[in-house]
Amino acid sequence: MAQSDSYIATLDIFKAHFNEQKGETIYQMMNTEMQQALSEEQMISIVKMLNYNLGSLEAFKYIESKGTTEVYEGSFQEGKQYIAIALDEEGKLSGLRFLPVPETEKTAKLTRNQTPLSLPFKDSWFTFWGGDTKEQNYHVVSQAQKHAFDFLIIGKYNRTYERSGTRNEDYYAFGKPIYAVCDATVVRVETGIPDNKPGEMNAAQPLGNSVVLKTEKEEYIVYAHFEEGTIQVKEGQQVTRGQRLGNCGNSGNSSEPHLHLHIQDGLNMMTSVGVKCYFETLEVNGKSVSDYSPVRLDVVAPVKESKE
């Protein structure tokens, strides 16, 4: 099945609005069902994020059809992405997705972090996801996030919350301070994204309120899901190890308050590769260890200072 003229015309219009970063205009191209599933603010944020990572959309070519969906390969300034679109009977967008172009797995520029890192918190946290296998870490399927951690706090009765757990404030991790793991430069900050109600997720803005630090060794350290309004740093700012960045929250693609942390070998999350992250010194399940990368179910904390 060849590509449809109506789909090509829609993509031409989309291309113009995308390159002008007019997310609100693209939102008006959607049908009612899509608009109910995705807010105008989310569409504006998605277009902004894609432009930031990929640059302008320069061209596209037809790949295949799947029912009412047509898939095109979009050539951007900074790489390629598949664009899958579907139109309803009135010619309105009923589906729009950006997908990675199938390719052989890339090798990271770094096999592991070279900069000594401290933990990003000062209390005892639980490693919910971490490690190199799918059983240990669901992030392994993502090129950029394959060595990511999700940290949260376990309290009484081995639960992450007290009371009913229906409010973010019920969760032990919510509002806890999050710190810079090393001296670095702030190269990206995303703010203004509301915290989710526990159990709900914002897949359109996956990192939520977030900070990216760049080290002198070209390591890009990504922090995600900060509490709205708590990030204390700005792009271009120099931070020092142990400096407070903001508070743990529940924004973005997050169902409960937690900290997502990973290292990648570039700023562009769509083209970068994940780098394995080791911390310099820490306590793991009550024992002091050095140069360690936490795995699922590890309880980690900074090494306690000895009292003399």
Lowest-pLDDT range of 102-106, 138-142, 169-173, 272-276: 102-106
Any idea which of 99-103, 169-173, 210-214 has the lowest mean pLDDT? 99-103
For the CA atoms of the chain, what is the radius of gyration?
A: 21
Say what the pLDDT of residue 98 is: 87
CB 204 within 8 A of CB 240: no
pLDDT tens, residue by residue, 72-89: 999 998 788 899 999 999
The residue with greater pLDDT, 295 or 42, is 295
Burial degree of 126 (CB within 10 A; 0-12, 13-18, 19+): buried
* 142, 274 contact by CB (below 8 A): yes
pLDDT score at 71: 94
Residue 284, C-beta contacts closer than 8 angstroms, at least 6 positions apart: 292, 294, 298, 299, 300
Which sign does the torsion angle of CA 152, 155, 157, 163 carry? Answer: negative
Note the pLDDT of residue 1.
47
Identify the pLDDT of residue 203.
83
99's tokens: 């997908």
Nearest-angstrom CA–CA distance, 261 and 276: 11
Contacts of range 174-177, beta carbons closer than 8 Å, 24 or more positions apart: 174/227, 174/247, 174/248, 174/249, 174/250, 174/257, 175/227, 175/230, 175/247, 175/248, 175/249, 176/121, 176/123, 176/247, 176/248, 177/121, 177/122, 177/244, 177/246, 177/247, 177/248
Q: What share of the chain is helix, strand, coil (3-state, %, to 5)?
A: 15, 35, 50
Contact 202, 208 (CB under 8 A): yes
Per-residue tokens: 230: 């708590």
| Angle (CA) 271 242 224, round 5° | 35
**Average pLDDT score, the chain:** 93
Domains of the chain (ranges; CATH) run 5-100 (3.10.450.590), 125-301 (2.70.70.10)
CA distances to 56, 83, 84 from 63, in Å: 20, 10, 10
Indicate if the alpha-carbon torsion angle 289, 182, 226, 268 is positive or negative: negative
In the predicted model, what is the mean pLDDT of residues 37-64? 89
> pLDDT tens across 277-286, in order?
999 999 999 9
pTM over 0.75: yes
